[in-house]
Amino acid sequence: MKQEARSRKHELSVAICIDLGGTDLKSAVVDSSGKILHQQSTPSESKKNKKKILDNLISSISIEEQWAQAQGFRIQGVGLGIPGIVSYPEGIVHRSPHFPDLKDFPIKKLLQKKIHFPLVLDNDANMAALGEGWIGAAKGKKNYLLMTLGTGIGGGIVFDGKLLHGDSGFAGEVGHIVIEREGRRCNCGGRGCLEMYASATGILYGLSPSLRRRGLGGGLTAEHLYHLALQGNKTAQKIYKDFGKALGAGIASLVNVLDIELVMLGGGLSGAWKVFIDSTRQSIARHTYLTTAKKIILKRALLGNNAGLIGTARAVFVGY
Protein backbone atom coordinates (compact mmCIF):
# COMPACT_ATOMS: atom_id res chain seq x y z
CA MET A 1 0.00 0.00 0.00
CA LYS A 2 2.72 2.44 1.03
CA GLN A 3 4.69 1.60 -2.09
CA GLU A 4 1.66 2.26 -4.24
CA ALA A 5 0.94 5.63 -2.63
CA ARG A 6 4.51 6.75 -3.23
CA SER A 7 4.47 5.69 -6.86
CA ARG A 8 1.25 7.62 -7.41
CA LYS A 9 2.83 10.68 -5.87
CA HIS A 10 5.76 10.20 -8.24
CA GLU A 11 3.39 10.69 -11.11
CA LEU A 12 2.35 14.17 -10.03
CA SER A 13 3.76 16.64 -12.52
CA VAL A 14 4.64 20.09 -11.31
CA ALA A 15 6.07 23.29 -12.76
CA ILE A 16 8.62 25.52 -11.11
CA CYS A 17 7.26 29.03 -11.49
CA ILE A 18 9.14 32.29 -11.12
CA ASP A 19 7.78 35.82 -11.11
CA LEU A 20 10.55 38.40 -11.21
CA GLY A 21 8.70 41.41 -9.89
CA GLY A 22 9.93 44.97 -9.43
CA THR A 23 9.76 44.48 -5.65
CA ASP A 24 9.91 40.74 -4.98
CA LEU A 25 11.32 37.71 -6.68
CA LYS A 26 8.60 35.13 -6.11
CA SER A 27 8.82 31.44 -6.88
CA ALA A 28 6.50 28.50 -6.51
CA VAL A 29 5.82 24.86 -7.27
CA VAL A 30 2.49 24.60 -9.09
CA ASP A 31 0.63 21.47 -10.16
CA SER A 32 -1.13 20.88 -13.45
CA SER A 33 -4.45 22.13 -12.05
CA GLY A 34 -2.91 25.51 -11.22
CA LYS A 35 -2.68 24.84 -7.48
CA ILE A 36 0.29 26.38 -5.68
CA LEU A 37 1.95 23.66 -3.58
CA HIS A 38 4.88 25.66 -2.29
CA GLN A 39 5.78 29.32 -2.50
CA GLN A 40 8.59 31.63 -1.44
CA SER A 41 9.53 35.23 -1.90
CA THR A 42 12.64 37.39 -1.54
CA PRO A 43 13.35 41.05 -2.36
CA SER A 44 14.33 41.28 -6.00
CA GLU A 45 16.76 44.15 -5.54
CA SER A 46 16.24 45.62 -8.94
CA LYS A 47 19.38 47.74 -8.76
CA LYS A 48 21.42 44.58 -8.98
CA ASN A 49 23.38 43.79 -12.11
CA LYS A 50 22.36 41.09 -14.53
CA LYS A 51 24.85 38.55 -13.22
CA LYS A 52 23.38 38.87 -9.73
CA ILE A 53 19.80 38.75 -11.04
CA LEU A 54 20.60 35.57 -12.92
CA ASP A 55 22.19 34.05 -9.79
CA ASN A 56 19.09 34.95 -7.74
CA LEU A 57 16.84 33.28 -10.31
CA ILE A 58 18.97 30.15 -10.32
CA SER A 59 18.95 30.06 -6.54
CA SER A 60 15.14 30.34 -6.38
CA ILE A 61 14.72 27.63 -8.99
CA SER A 62 17.12 25.40 -7.11
CA ILE A 63 15.19 25.72 -3.84
CA GLU A 64 11.87 24.91 -5.54
CA GLU A 65 13.55 22.00 -7.31
CA GLN A 66 14.79 20.56 -4.04
CA TRP A 67 11.38 20.97 -2.45
CA ALA A 68 9.61 19.29 -5.36
CA GLN A 69 12.09 16.44 -5.50
CA ALA A 70 11.82 15.84 -1.77
CA GLN A 71 8.08 15.40 -2.35
CA GLY A 72 8.77 12.93 -5.15
CA PHE A 73 7.15 15.13 -7.82
CA ARG A 74 8.10 15.07 -11.49
CA ILE A 75 9.26 18.53 -12.62
CA GLN A 76 7.83 19.23 -16.06
CA GLY A 77 9.54 22.55 -16.66
CA VAL A 78 10.37 26.01 -15.41
CA GLY A 79 8.33 29.11 -16.23
CA LEU A 80 9.51 32.68 -15.78
CA GLY A 81 7.68 36.00 -16.03
CA ILE A 82 9.77 39.13 -16.61
CA PRO A 83 8.62 42.73 -16.18
CA GLY A 84 9.54 44.34 -19.46
CA ILE A 85 9.56 43.79 -23.17
CA VAL A 86 10.87 40.36 -24.02
CA SER A 87 11.45 38.93 -27.47
CA TYR A 88 9.64 35.75 -28.46
CA PRO A 89 10.67 32.98 -28.86
CA GLU A 90 14.30 34.00 -28.19
CA GLY A 91 13.68 35.35 -24.69
CA ILE A 92 15.95 38.36 -24.88
CA VAL A 93 14.99 41.23 -22.58
CA HIS A 94 14.55 44.17 -24.86
CA ARG A 95 13.85 46.73 -22.16
CA SER A 96 12.87 46.46 -18.52
CA PRO A 97 12.15 49.70 -16.62
CA HIS A 98 12.54 47.85 -13.28
CA PHE A 99 15.78 46.15 -14.25
CA PRO A 100 17.72 48.52 -16.48
CA ASP A 101 20.78 46.26 -16.44
CA LEU A 102 18.80 43.50 -18.17
CA LYS A 103 18.65 45.53 -21.41
CA ASP A 104 19.39 43.27 -24.40
CA PHE A 105 20.20 40.43 -21.99
CA PRO A 106 19.67 36.94 -23.53
CA ILE A 107 18.19 35.69 -20.29
CA LYS A 108 16.46 32.61 -21.68
CA LYS A 109 19.57 31.22 -23.31
CA LEU A 110 21.80 31.87 -20.29
CA LEU A 111 19.30 30.59 -17.76
CA GLN A 112 18.49 27.47 -19.80
CA LYS A 113 22.19 26.53 -19.69
CA LYS A 114 22.08 26.45 -15.90
CA ILE A 115 18.90 24.42 -15.33
CA HIS A 116 17.93 20.86 -16.14
CA PHE A 117 14.33 21.46 -17.24
CA PRO A 118 12.71 23.06 -20.28
CA LEU A 119 12.35 26.80 -19.73
CA VAL A 120 9.46 28.98 -20.89
CA LEU A 121 9.73 32.70 -20.48
CA ASP A 122 7.62 35.73 -21.33
CA ASN A 123 6.57 39.16 -20.23
CA ASP A 124 4.86 39.15 -16.80
CA ALA A 125 1.56 40.61 -18.03
CA ASN A 126 1.44 37.95 -20.74
CA MET A 127 1.97 35.29 -18.08
CA ALA A 128 -0.74 36.83 -15.89
CA ALA A 129 -3.13 36.79 -18.86
CA LEU A 130 -2.43 33.07 -19.32
CA GLY A 131 -3.09 32.43 -15.64
CA GLU A 132 -6.42 34.27 -15.69
CA GLY A 133 -7.48 32.30 -18.76
CA TRP A 134 -6.50 29.03 -17.16
CA ILE A 135 -8.16 29.19 -13.74
CA GLY A 136 -9.06 32.87 -13.27
CA ALA A 137 -11.52 35.45 -14.54
CA ALA A 138 -11.21 34.37 -18.18
CA LYS A 139 -11.44 30.63 -17.51
CA GLY A 140 -12.77 28.84 -20.58
CA LYS A 141 -12.59 31.93 -22.79
CA LYS A 142 -10.71 31.68 -26.09
CA ASN A 143 -10.26 35.41 -26.71
CA TYR A 144 -9.60 37.97 -24.02
CA LEU A 145 -7.45 40.87 -22.96
CA LEU A 146 -5.81 41.58 -19.62
CA MET A 147 -4.72 45.09 -18.71
CA THR A 148 -2.59 45.44 -15.58
CA LEU A 149 -2.96 48.88 -14.05
CA GLY A 150 0.01 49.78 -11.87
CA THR A 151 2.81 52.33 -12.08
CA GLY A 152 2.45 51.81 -15.82
CA ILE A 153 0.06 49.66 -17.84
CA GLY A 154 0.88 46.14 -18.96
CA GLY A 155 -1.16 43.98 -21.24
CA GLY A 156 -1.64 40.48 -22.51
CA ILE A 157 -3.80 39.59 -25.50
CA VAL A 158 -5.02 36.04 -25.97
CA PHE A 159 -6.59 34.71 -29.17
CA ASP A 160 -7.73 31.12 -29.47
CA GLY A 161 -6.12 30.42 -26.12
CA LYS A 162 -2.68 31.54 -27.28
CA LEU A 163 -0.79 34.74 -26.53
CA LEU A 164 -0.58 37.23 -29.33
CA HIS A 165 3.14 37.80 -29.67
CA GLY A 166 3.47 39.73 -32.91
CA ASP A 167 6.64 39.78 -34.99
CA SER A 168 9.08 39.96 -32.09
CA GLY A 169 7.08 39.16 -28.98
CA PHE A 170 6.41 42.81 -28.11
CA ALA A 171 2.64 42.77 -28.74
CA GLY A 172 0.28 43.80 -25.98
CA GLU A 173 1.91 47.12 -25.07
CA VAL A 174 -1.53 48.57 -24.50
CA GLY A 175 -0.16 51.32 -22.27
CA HIS A 176 1.23 53.01 -25.36
CA ILE A 177 -1.96 53.49 -27.29
CA VAL A 178 -2.12 57.19 -28.13
CA ILE A 179 -5.32 58.71 -26.72
CA GLU A 180 -4.29 62.38 -26.88
CA ARG A 181 -1.75 62.95 -29.57
CA GLU A 182 -0.73 66.35 -28.19
CA GLY A 183 -1.10 65.19 -24.59
CA ARG A 184 1.21 64.33 -21.70
CA ARG A 185 4.78 63.38 -22.44
CA CYS A 186 5.46 59.67 -21.87
CA ASN A 187 8.60 57.76 -20.85
CA CYS A 188 8.54 56.06 -24.25
CA GLY A 189 9.40 59.41 -25.82
CA GLY A 190 5.88 59.84 -27.18
CA ARG A 191 2.94 61.95 -26.14
CA GLY A 192 -0.53 61.15 -24.94
CA CYS A 193 -0.01 57.44 -24.24
CA LEU A 194 -2.81 55.77 -22.28
CA GLU A 195 -0.27 54.94 -19.55
CA MET A 196 0.11 58.66 -18.77
CA TYR A 197 -3.59 58.83 -17.80
CA ALA A 198 -4.84 55.43 -16.65
CA SER A 199 -2.06 54.33 -14.26
CA ALA A 200 -0.63 55.40 -10.89
CA THR A 201 1.64 57.70 -12.87
CA GLY A 202 -1.46 59.21 -14.48
CA ILE A 203 -3.18 59.61 -11.10
CA LEU A 204 -0.21 61.50 -9.68
CA TYR A 205 0.10 63.54 -12.87
CA GLY A 206 -3.53 64.58 -12.42
CA LEU A 207 -2.82 65.37 -8.79
CA SER A 208 0.06 67.75 -9.11
CA PRO A 209 -1.64 70.93 -10.31
CA SER A 210 -5.11 70.44 -8.86
CA LEU A 211 -4.58 68.80 -5.49
CA ARG A 212 -1.45 70.70 -4.69
CA ARG A 213 -3.33 73.96 -5.09
CA ARG A 214 -5.60 72.68 -2.33
CA GLY A 215 -2.68 71.75 -0.10
CA LEU A 216 -3.26 68.03 -0.65
CA GLY A 217 -0.01 67.33 -2.48
CA GLY A 218 3.24 65.99 -1.02
CA GLY A 219 3.57 62.26 -0.48
CA LEU A 220 0.08 61.30 -1.61
CA THR A 221 -0.19 58.03 -3.46
CA ALA A 222 -2.84 56.60 -5.76
CA GLU A 223 -4.00 54.54 -2.76
CA HIS A 224 -4.42 57.59 -0.50
CA LEU A 225 -6.43 59.22 -3.25
CA TYR A 226 -8.57 56.12 -3.56
CA HIS A 227 -9.49 56.33 0.11
CA LEU A 228 -10.08 60.07 -0.17
CA ALA A 229 -12.37 59.40 -3.13
CA LEU A 230 -14.29 56.79 -1.14
CA GLN A 231 -14.66 59.32 1.68
CA GLY A 232 -16.28 61.74 -0.75
CA ASN A 233 -13.35 64.04 -1.54
CA LYS A 234 -14.43 65.71 -4.79
CA THR A 235 -10.96 66.31 -6.16
CA ALA A 236 -9.89 62.73 -5.57
CA GLN A 237 -13.15 61.56 -7.15
CA LYS A 238 -12.54 63.76 -10.17
CA ILE A 239 -9.02 62.39 -10.58
CA TYR A 240 -10.33 58.82 -10.57
CA LYS A 241 -13.14 59.80 -12.91
CA ASP A 242 -10.61 61.18 -15.40
CA PHE A 243 -8.58 58.01 -14.95
CA GLY A 244 -11.65 55.90 -15.77
CA LYS A 245 -12.52 58.04 -18.76
CA ALA A 246 -9.05 57.73 -20.25
CA LEU A 247 -9.07 53.99 -19.61
CA GLY A 248 -12.40 53.73 -21.44
CA ALA A 249 -11.00 55.54 -24.49
CA GLY A 250 -8.10 53.09 -24.55
CA ILE A 251 -10.34 50.05 -24.15
CA ALA A 252 -12.60 51.37 -26.94
CA SER A 253 -9.62 51.59 -29.30
CA LEU A 254 -8.55 48.06 -28.39
CA VAL A 255 -12.00 46.61 -28.81
CA ASN A 256 -12.48 48.32 -32.17
CA VAL A 257 -9.22 46.84 -33.42
CA LEU A 258 -9.30 43.41 -31.79
CA ASP A 259 -13.04 42.71 -31.37
CA ILE A 260 -12.43 41.13 -27.99
CA GLU A 261 -15.43 41.06 -25.68
CA LEU A 262 -13.81 40.13 -22.40
CA VAL A 263 -11.52 42.79 -20.95
CA MET A 264 -10.01 42.03 -17.56
CA LEU A 265 -8.44 44.63 -15.34
CA GLY A 266 -5.68 43.58 -12.96
CA GLY A 267 -2.73 45.20 -11.20
CA GLY A 268 -2.79 47.24 -8.00
CA LEU A 269 -5.02 50.00 -9.32
CA SER A 270 -7.77 47.59 -10.33
CA GLY A 271 -8.45 47.55 -6.58
CA ALA A 272 -9.84 51.07 -7.01
CA TRP A 273 -12.43 49.61 -9.42
CA LYS A 274 -15.46 51.07 -7.66
CA VAL A 275 -14.28 54.68 -7.94
CA PHE A 276 -13.51 54.61 -11.67
CA ILE A 277 -15.41 51.81 -13.41
CA ASP A 278 -18.62 53.78 -14.08
CA SER A 279 -16.74 56.47 -15.98
CA THR A 280 -14.84 53.72 -17.83
CA ARG A 281 -18.11 52.16 -18.98
CA GLN A 282 -19.49 55.55 -20.04
CA SER A 283 -16.32 56.32 -21.94
CA ILE A 284 -16.35 52.97 -23.76
CA ALA A 285 -19.96 53.60 -24.78
CA ARG A 286 -18.98 57.07 -25.98
CA HIS A 287 -16.12 55.80 -28.12
CA THR A 288 -17.68 52.71 -29.73
CA TYR A 289 -20.86 51.86 -31.59
CA LEU A 290 -23.60 51.15 -29.10
CA THR A 291 -23.84 47.51 -30.20
CA THR A 292 -20.10 47.10 -29.58
CA ALA A 293 -20.24 48.74 -26.17
CA LYS A 294 -23.06 46.42 -25.12
CA LYS A 295 -21.01 43.32 -25.91
CA ILE A 296 -18.02 44.29 -23.78
CA ILE A 297 -17.61 42.47 -20.49
CA LEU A 298 -15.35 44.24 -18.00
CA LYS A 299 -14.08 42.00 -15.23
CA ARG A 300 -11.62 42.30 -12.41
CA ALA A 301 -8.77 39.84 -12.65
CA LEU A 302 -9.17 37.07 -10.05
CA LEU A 303 -5.74 35.73 -9.27
CA GLY A 304 -4.22 38.92 -7.87
CA ASN A 305 -0.48 38.81 -7.27
CA ASN A 306 -0.34 35.12 -8.12
CA ALA A 307 -1.65 35.50 -11.68
CA GLY A 308 1.85 35.69 -13.14
CA LEU A 309 3.15 32.67 -11.21
CA ILE A 310 0.14 30.56 -12.15
CA GLY A 311 0.38 31.72 -15.76
CA THR A 312 3.94 30.42 -16.05
CA ALA A 313 2.65 27.01 -14.95
CA ARG A 314 0.01 27.18 -17.68
CA ALA A 315 2.79 27.97 -20.15
CA VAL A 316 4.76 24.95 -18.93
CA PHE A 317 1.84 22.51 -19.01
CA VAL A 318 -0.22 23.73 -21.94
CA GLY A 319 1.98 26.10 -23.92
CA TYR A 320 1.89 29.82 -24.67
Q: Which of 123, 279, 288, 312 is in the footprint of a second copy by CB under 8 A?
A: 288
β strands within 53-92, DSSP E: 74-82, 85-86
Question: CB-wise, 26 or 245, nearer to a second copy?
Answer: 245
Q: Does residue 90 interact with a second copy by CB under 8 A?
A: no
| 266 residue type, one letter | G
Report, in Å, the least distance between residue 197 CB and a second copy. Answer: 9
| Cβ atoms 119, 80 nearer than 8 A | yes
Q: Which of 70, 167, 218, 231 is in the footprint of a second copy by CB under 8 A?
A: 167
List strands edge to edge, sheet with 74-82. 36-43, 24-31, 13-20, 74-82, 119-123
d(CA 279, CA 267): 19
Radius of gyration of the chain (CA): 21
Q: Does residue 44 interact with a second copy by CB under 8 A?
A: no
Q: Does residue 286 interact with a second copy by CB under 8 A?
A: yes
Question: CB-wise, 77 or 172, nearer to a second copy?
Answer: 172
Applying CB under 8 A, the span of 15-23, 125-133, 191-199, 215-223 interacting with a second copy comes to 191-199
Report the DSSP beta bridge partners of residue 43.
24
Show the binding pattern over residues 107-126: x = contacts a second copy (CB under 8 A), - = does not.
Answer: --------------------
Which DSSP category does 306 fall into? Answer: G
Question: CB-wise, 177 or 301, nearer to a second copy?
Answer: 177
Q: Does residue 171 interact with a second copy by CB under 8 A?
A: yes
Report, in Å, the least distance between residue 35 CB and a second copy. Answer: 30
DSSP string, 87-155: -TTT--EEE-TT-GGGTTB-HHHHHHHH-SS-EEEEEHHHHHHHHHHHHSTTTT-SSEEEEEESSSEEE
Q: Does residue 260 interact with a second copy by CB under 8 A?
A: yes
Which residues between 206 and 245 bind a second copy (CB under 8 A)? 245
| Cβ atoms 21, 5 nearer than 8 A | no
Q: Does residue 282 interact with a second copy by CB under 8 A?
A: no
β strands within 231-277, DSSP E: 262-266
Q: Does residue 35 interact with a second copy by CB under 8 A?
A: no
Q: Does residue 189 interact with a second copy by CB under 8 A?
A: yes
Report, in Å, the least distance between residue 241 CB and a second copy. Answer: 14
- Beta-carbon count within 10 A of 39 CB: 15
Which DSSP category does 185 fall into? Answer: B
Q: Which of 32, 40, 41, 168 is in the footprint of a second copy by CB under 8 A?
A: 168
Q: Does residue 95 interact with a second copy by CB under 8 A?
A: yes
Report, in Å, the least distance between residue 177 CB and a second copy. Answer: 4
Q: Does residue 289 interact with a second copy by CB under 8 A?
A: yes
d(CA 320, CA 313): 10
SS3 174: helix
Q: Does residue 166 interact with a second copy by CB under 8 A?
A: yes
Q: Does residue 295 interact with a second copy by CB under 8 A?
A: yes
- The DSSP element (H or E) to which 213 belongs, if any, is helix 200-213
Report, in Å, the least distance between residue 155 CB and a second copy. Answer: 8
Q: Which residues lie near a second copy (CB under 8 A)?
A: 94-95, 143, 155, 157, 159, 164-174, 176-182, 188-193, 245-246, 249-250, 252-254, 256-261, 283, 286-292, 295
